[in-house]
Amino acid sequence: MVKLRLVHRCTECGAGHPKWAGRCPACGAWNSLVEEVDGPDEFATLAAGMALVPAGVAKPIGEIDANSATPCPTGIGELDRVLGGGFVPGSVTLLGGEPGIGKSTLLLQLLAGWAGRTLYVSAEESAQQVRLRAERLDAVRPDLWLLPETSLPNILAAIDELKPQLVVVDSIQTVADPDLSSAPGSVVQVRGCAHRLVQEAKRRTVSMVLVGHVTKDGGLAGPRVLEHLVDTVLSFEGERHHALRLLRASKHRFGPTNELGLFEMADAGLLPVPDPSQLFLADRRTGVPGSAVVPTIEGQRPLLVEVQALTNTSTSGVPPRRSAQGVDPGRLAMLLAVLERRARILVATHEVYASVVGGVKLTEPGVDLALCLAVVSAMTNRPLAADLVVCGEVGLAGELRQVAQTQRRLSEAARLGFGRAIVPASSPDSGAGIRVTRVSTLAEALSAAGLIGEAPTGPMP
Ligand code: TYD
Ligand code: MG
């Protein structure tokens, strides 16, 4: 008789522990342990796959054929931008995102546009459901094959028979190997199946995309346990109630990871967003206090984004509330401290709410100055000029530091009709058709923007 043993497995790192704990002892993640039956055979699937892989042969590096790693364009420009050209044959990509964000839609569009034979393994939805969606997306093509299947051996058999160039498995969390005793969706199953699919993709030089749902409650093994197995990790983000979707690579073995792909969810599927700045500024109201426009850079692409702030005098005795959406709350706290100490703006008694319009997350320091100006504009109830953009990093001493690619940022602002910019004094010459004011401190920037009178000198008493 097989003796079953319970383990508590971490959905973040995959480590198994005999006892439950609030925090995984291996990786330190909180609330990530789930109860699982520990099978004796987690590696049986891997061993079966290993037996098929030919032994590696060492060669001088000059004799290695680099051309086999040339990406094939996908036909979806925004996806190619993020992938650095397309899919490399034999590579495995993990596409993560919350349920309902549009992963299946994007992949069906991808397969429909691919020049060779493709296979869509639907492990979640019935063939009818996928067919209906394909009709809506105009993706009913003779070269697109559909397999509603959750069993790993059957999926591999279908790949053997059809010999597709590109395979999508939607989703990896619902695929299971009957040889493993753990339940479908468990860490052991997800990791075992993904490992086996990666081996098969390499062996046959088939490109593969695995879909992984990101769930916050840890009920399903998250894509995190798969990240080191695959070549590329893409995440599809956005707010479900907004049409905008952002595609980013957090790991990419064949190119850079800083490019951003932008899509809009429409009735006929995902459409590329060729002019994102226009989209982000579409609903902007000028002449309102608490709003600043910043030209940021995402990868190679300049983006104009509106940053907003709202402040309220706090009457309760407790520390006033601070809330940040789309920017790091720690960064906001630091900027408020710099405003107080270096520019003598008394924010300590104010509640501060800051947000980036359009559901984007801004992580680059170039947004610092815009955040500070938006906060002070809200506090003083003075709007910034409608045609003004600002960018720059704010240091702890209240000094402004230049950020990369000022010229491209300012040309994008000029293209969209902005006529004035406030930038750090050390920024290189812009040459763009925009009037540039150079300032060296945060206080000078506040003064140049007309929010305060003369910039105060010296530190606070
Ligand atoms: P879906 O691709 O099923 O998401 P995921 O695979 O990430 O779970 O997309 C689901 C949402 O997208 C659903 O709420 C309906 C919407 N949608 C459109 O708005 N337009 C479309 O053409 C399609 C196919 C879906
Ligand atoms: Mg789906």
DSSP state, residue 68: G
Specify the fold of 279-448.
Ribosomal Protein S5; domain 2 (3.30.230)
Taking domain 72-274, whether its CATH number is 3.40.50.720 is answered by no
The confidence score (pLDDT) of residue 46 equals: 58
- At 428 the three-state DSSP class reads coil
Q: Which ligand is nearest to the CA of 236?
A: 1
Which one-letter amino acid corresponds to residue 194? Answer: A
**Other beta carbons within 10 Å of 430:** 20
Helix locations, 114-181, DSSP H:
127-136, 152-162
Torsion of CA 227, 233, 237, 243, to 10 degrees: -150
100 alpha carbon to ligand 1 midpoint, in Å?
Answer: 6
What mean pLDDT do residues 169-175 have? 91
- Mean pLDDT over the full length of the chain: 87
- At 51 the three-state DSSP class reads coil
Beta strands in 267-375 (DSSP E): 269-272, 291-298, 301-313, 322-325, 350-356
DSSP state, residue 385: P
Q: In the predicted model, is pLDDT for residue 42 greater than 60?
A: no
The 10s digit of each residue's pLDDT in 134-168 is 999 999 999 999 999 999 999 999 999 999 999 99
Give the integer Cα–Cα distance in Å for 390 and 409. 10
The 10s digit of each residue's pLDDT in 374-394 is 999 999 999 999 999 999 999
Closest CA to 103 of 122, 84, 87, 131: 122
pTM metric for this prediction: 0.78
Closest CA to 108 of 262, 211, 185: 211
Beta strands in 110-268 (DSSP E): 118-122, 144-148, 166-170, 207-213, 232-237, 244-252, 260-266
Residues whose CB falls within 8 Å of the CB of residue 24, separated by 6 or more in sequence, listed in order: 10, 12, 13, 15, 17, 30, 32, 33
**Pocket flag, ligand 1, residue 133 (CB < 6 Å):** yes
- Choice among 170-179, 212-221, 237-246 with the minimum mean pLDDT: 212-221
270 alpha carbon to ligand 1 midpoint, in Å?
Answer: 9
| CA 107 to ligand 1: nearest atom | 2
Domain residue extents for the chain: 1-39, 72-274, 279-448
Give the integer Cα–Cα distance in Å for 258 and 197. 27
The 10s digit of each residue's pLDDT in 389-440 is 999 999 999 999 999 999 889 998 998 899 999 999 998 887 768 999 999 9
177 alpha carbon to ligand 2 midpoint, in Å?
Answer: 21
What mean pLDDT do residues 236-257 have? 84
Confidence of residue 222 (pLDDT cuts 50, 70, 90): low
**Is the dihedral angle over the CA atoms 274, 280, 281, 282 positive or is it negative?**
positive
| CA 106 to ligand 1: nearest atom | 2
Pocket test for ligand 1, best of 98, 106, 210, 265 (most atoms within 8 A of CB): 265
Contact 447, 441 (CB under 8 A): no
Q: In the predicted model, is pLDDT for residue 111 greater than 80?
A: yes
Q: Which ligand is nearest to the CA of 269?
A: 1
How is the chain split among helix, strand and coil, in percent rounded to 5?
A: 30, 25, 45
Contact 309, 378 (CB under 8 A): yes
262 Rama sector, left if φ>0, alpha if ψ -120 to 50, beta otherwise: beta
**How do 435-439 and 118-122 pair as beta strands?**
unpaired
Token pair, residue 146, equals 């559909």
Which one-letter amino acid corresponds to residue 133? Answer: R
Give the integer Cα–Cα distance in Å for 261 and 339. 34
Token pair, residue 300, equals 């190679």
Contact 401, 426 (CB under 8 A): yes
Contact 10, 27 (CB under 8 A): yes
Contact 305, 296 (CB under 8 A): yes
Contact 12, 30 (CB under 8 A): no
